[in-house]
């Protein structure tokens, strides 16, 4: 999560990239979960999505910590 990520010479904070990637994963995951019918077991879907996103992002950041650059 610490450091820069080079996108064609533009250096952006790694955290920004991780957050965007997590959001992408979340969108995919939402489709899968909807297909599996998980949302029927959920109280507020938006709150559920937010929770999933936070967990995804934090996990991604922690995993990225083990693999420098």
Partner 1 sequence: MIARFSRLLKAAFTLTLFAVALAVGWNFWQGYMQTPWTRDGHVRADVVSIAPDVAGPVAAVLVSDNQTVEKGDVLVRIDPERFQIALDLADATLKDRSASLDQARRDAERYHRLKNGPAVSQQNIEQADLAVEQASAAYDEAKANRDLAALNLARTEVRAPVNGVVSNLSLNPGDYVSSGAGVLALIDTDTLRVEGYFEENQLPRIAVGDAVSVELMGHPQTLRGHVESIAAGIEDRERTNGSNLLANVTPTFSWVRLAQRVPVRVALDDVPAGTRLVAGLTATVSVHPRRGGGAPADASAAEPATARPAAVEPAG
Instruction: Phi first, then psi: give them for residue 49, nearest 5 degrees.
Output: -60, -45
Q: How many CB atoms lie within 10 A of CB 6?
A: 9
Nearest approach, Cβ of residue 19 and partner 1 (Å) = 11
Say whether residue 52 binds partner 1 (CB under 8 A).
Answer: yes
Report how far residue 39's alpha carbon sits from residue 24's, in angstroms, rounded to the nearest whole number.
19
Q: Can you tell me which of 17, 19, 21, 61 binds partner 1, judged by CB under 8 A?
A: 61
By CB under 8 A, name the binding residues for partner 1. Answer: 1-4, 6, 11, 13, 15, 41-44, 47-48, 50-52, 54-55, 57-59, 61-62, 68-69
């Amino acid at each position: 999560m610490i450091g820069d990520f080079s996108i064609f010479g533009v250096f952006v904070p790694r955290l920004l990239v991780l957050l965007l990637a997590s959001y992408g994963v979340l969108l995919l995951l939402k489709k899968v979960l909807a297909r599996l019918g998980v949302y029927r077991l959920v109280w507020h879907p938006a709150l559920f999505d937010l929770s999933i996103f936070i967990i995804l992002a934090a996990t991604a950041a922690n995993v990225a910590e083990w693999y420098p650059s």
